[in-house]
Amino acid sequence: MDKKKYRRKKKLNSAYKSILAIKNSVPKIIFRAKNLVVTLKNKNQLEKWLDLYPEGTYTINN
């Protein structure tokens, strides 16, 4: 009965590491409009944002 039923700490640590990896990764596309900055994953998303904000600019990182 000494053994714990849950292993929350290990799962919490691995989840925290994966969240940090996502936060520290460089976004592929950055779209900027007036008072707005959006990070995008693919060009389909970029097309939708350009339809909404035609005056916006974007940069593509490799």
Residue range 5-56, pLDDT digits in tens: 766 677 888 888 999 988 888 778 999 999 999 999 889 999 999 999 999 9
| pLDDT for the residue 7 | 62
Instruction: Calculate Rg over the CA atoms of the chain.
Output: 19
| pLDDT for the residue 25 | 82
| pLDDT for the residue 33 | 95
| pLDDT for the residue 56 | 96
Side-chain-side CA neighbours of residue 45 (13 Å): 11
| pLDDT for the residue 23 | 82
36, two tokens: 């707005």
